[in-house]
Structure 1
Amino acid sequence: MDTLSRMRCFLKVVDAGGFSAAARELGRSKALVSKYVGDLEDELGARLLNRTTRQISMTEVGHAFYKEASDILTRIDDLKASVQNTHQAARGTLRISAPRSMGDDFINPAIMAFLVAEPEISIDLRLEDRFVDLVEEGFDAAIRVSEMTDSSLIARKLASFRATVCASPEAIARLGTPRHPQDLASLPCIIDNNYRYRNNWQFQVDGARLGVAVKGRVEVNSAQAARLAAREGLGFLRTPHIFVHRDVVAGRLVEVLESFHPEAQAVHVVYPHRRHLSGKVRAFVDFLSAWFADKRKRGEIC
């Protein structure tokens, strides 16, 4: 037993008025309680209690030790409670990393809604298309669209995103409807260079992956700019369906080559630790799960 536990045992014996009563309150044997107090006295090199067969009384040193020990343990208990309350409560600054390509149209609305729901949390959001080291760089959580291979991170799947190729009705009327992915090689395409394959678009043809080299007048690093370019008729765009869902529903963009897209990718929220998860991270993960679930229910994501 450590010193603090022995101190608590000593205080309990004094407060209960004897070893037997203290043992009952602690759920320990009288012999064990007596041993703990004896071990404390040995550690201190001083007798704290005078013992008789019927009663105990504190020595002069015991009186002084009782007062100081009470103050110390009270401060420790207060500190522990303060840390637990701060850790478990949804408050403080939350550092989050997310892909720039998802930021404007998808992540930002979710995070702003989260801030409205959790007024005691502040956000430090970094939008960048790289995998940050959460622990080394001090991030609380990250949003990632990929297969999870880092076993040191805890991941909760939020949704699956399928890709789509689309263009404006005007562009399709002018350029024609591609029937096979290879047709895109001779058509103007809008390239969002946030994505891994950039101008080498990936498709699934007869169970095999096919890469198609594409080109066009427009190359950007913004999903929003790419979508606007497609709406203006500047070419065909390959992008996650979530970014153009509203435009497709409204008829501003038309999907093509729908049967040739690879399997949907998963988006996860990841964080370093499951044990002693802070209140702010838990609130964020739970909120995102509910927010994405609502998007799925509305048919805006897979």
Structure 2
Amino acid sequence: MDNIENLTAMVVFARVVETLSFTEAAKSLRLSKSSVSREIASLEVRLGAQLLNRTTRKIAVTDVGMSYYQYCNRILNEIKGAEHFIRHFHEEPMGNLRLIAPVTFGCQCVVPVLNHYINNNIHVNVDLDLTDRPVNMADELYDIAIVITRDRPEAAQIKPLIPITWGLYAAPKYVARLAKITKPEDLPRHDYILFRGPAHTISLPFYKDKQKLDIEVRSRFRMNNSVALMSSAMAGGGIAYLPDYIAQESVHEGKLVRLLPDWKMDTYHSWVLFKSDSGLSARVRLFVDDLERKLRQLYLTPSD
């Protein structure tokens, strides 16, 4: 007996039992009535048992046929369950989401979105790695990586998030003690808290219309973490060079002020790198869409 051949016949037989009509069964299965009749006849021959009693007016299921239908029905339910699983694999997030992100950007921008995502997708587990080390997706086990770079990353599949602009910030009381700063050329006489650069000087870029200036300033206090740098600025330690998204809330709360807001400075870009360019699972698609939407809502103005 060919069990594989029986599978198709079992589906046809189950539909006939459920409709008690060769015509209706054929219509629902998109087969011809004669094909349905042949499948049932061949199945009865292979089983050596009569499953249906046929007359010109109606179809009746035999006792053995009804018992056999129970097995057919269980198989059909398993098939439907398998189809349901695959459909929800593409439509409903489930499984493990593994991602890596820079420490500060991850804490401030990614984790809040993940909190909302986890609360609304109970079938997803998340593994987040916060690190500032370089990422090569070909060598990583993560589903996605979030990176911040000046230029477009070299990766098979990427998605842009938001630009990361930079600016100069200081505590209001600190600014009140300074000589008035109205242009970039006023900056060198002050002390700075910087994220990067050589020990004593760094060239800060300024852009306005077609003007481009590079102003060298003195840094007495340098750190490798922007949040700590911002904390020092709020304590009155000097003028901090910060990504705007980090300082945005403190500016709104009056703890920091932006210096020379009419001038643009460095601009980096945030990106999502995907593991491969094959079809993305629902858990990845939904999180990336949520992240992009939330970041644009919080950190981009309509003009951006």
> Which TM-score band applies after superposition, normalised by the shorter structure?
0.5 to 0.7
**Conservation of the 8 A alpha-carbon contact between 1:48 and 1:62:** no
> Counterparts of 1:141 and 1:79 in 2: how far apart (Å)?
27
Give the aligned length: 291
Point out the more displaced range, 121-130 or 267-276.
267-276
- Given that residues 137 and 155 in structure 2 are in contact (C-alpha distance below 8 angstroms), is that contact kept between their aligned partners in structure 1? no
Are the equivalent residues in 2 in contact too, given 1:95–1:123 (CA < 8 A)?
yes
1:177 aligns with 2:209: no
Number of the residue aligned with 2:130: 127
Q: Cα deviation per residue 1:169-214 (whole Å; 9 max; x = unaligned)?
A: 4544347637226x656643222249xxx95544336637665555
The residue that corresponds to 1:261 in the other structure is: 264
Deviations 1:113-137 (A, max 9, x none): 4445555544322222356455763
CA distance in 1, matches of 2:77, 2:120: 35
Are 2:110 and 2:291, in contact at CA under 8 Å, matched by a contact in 1?
no
Q: Report if the CA contact (8 A) 1:148-1:155 is conserved.
A: no
Show the counterpart of 1:105. Answer: 108
Query: Could you tell me how far 1:257 is from its partner in structure 2?
Result: 3.4
Listed as ranges, the gaps of 5+ residues in structure 2 are: none
Conserved 8 A contact 2:102-2:146:
yes
**Residue 15 of structure 2 is aligned to residue 12 of structure 1:** yes
TM-score by length of 1: 0.67
The correspondence of residues 161-240 of structure 1 with structure 2, limited to 5 A, is 161-172=164-175, 173-174=177-178, 177=181, 179-180=183-184, 187-193=190-196, 199=202, 201-204=204-207, 207=210, 214-240=217-243
What one-letter code is carried by the residue in structure 2 that aligns with 1:179? K
* C-alpha displacement of 1:230: 1.7
What TM-score, normalized by structure 2, do the two folds share? 0.66
CA distances 1:63-83 after superposition (whole Å, capped 9, x unpaired): 998665554443333344345
Q: For the structure 1 residues 255 and 123, does the alpha-carbon distance in structure 2 shift closer, same or farther, using more than 3 Å as the test?
A: same
Distance 1:144 1:150 in 2: 11
Structure 1 residues 76, 216: CA separation in 2 closer, same or farther (over 3 Å shift)? same
- The aligned residue for residue 76 of structure 1 is 79
Letter in 2 for 1:224: V
Q: Which residue of 1 aligns with 2:159?
A: 155
Structure 1 residues 92 and 296: CA distance shift in structure 2, 3 A: same
- Are 1:137 and 2:140 an aligned pair? yes
Question: Deviations 1:146-187 (Å, cap 9, x if unpaired)?
Answer: 565567436364x44432112334544347637226x65664
Partners of 2:121 and 2:170 in 1: how far apart? 39
Determine which of 227, 234, 246 is the counterpart of 1:243.
246
Tell me the equivalent position of 1:291.
294
The structure-2 alpha-carbon separation of the partners of 1:184 and 1:241, relative to structure 1 and needing over 3 Å to count, comes to same
5+ unaligned residues in a row in structure 1: which ranges?
none
